[in-house]
Amino acid sequence: MTELLDFFWTIGSIVLLMISFVTRPTIVKCPDGWYADSGVRRSGAFSCARTIVGNPDNDGVNGHPEQGVQSPARLLGKVYCTGGALPIIVDQQTVGCSK
């Protein structure tokens, strides 16, 4: 009986570990058209912002009106680093962990 119980606890532990890899990611990518905006905090929290649209030649300098439009929308995310790894911005859209 205890062998059967040990088997079920082992299977349960494996399933929980597999779920934790999905629910606590170690690398997160912002969707296309978004970028990692605010840097990443030691807690792993970061935000994604939409890319600025408009004409970069008419950006509010030399008497031209500002034509770039930046959406105030933000996507909040969190990356989970373990084993002494620290959260970093890998590229413009990706946040991950590095030692």
For 25-47, the pLDDT digits (tens) are 788 888 888 888 878 888 889 99
For 60-96, the pLDDT digits (tens) are 556 666 665 566 778 888 888 888 889 998 888 899 9
Sketch the domain layout of the chain as residue ranges.
26-98
Q: What is the DSSP string of the chain?
A: -HHHHHHHHHHHHHHHHHHHHHHS-SEEEPPTTEEEEEEE-TTSEEEEEEPPBS-TTSBS-TTPPB--B----EEEEE----TT-EEEE-SSSEEEEE-
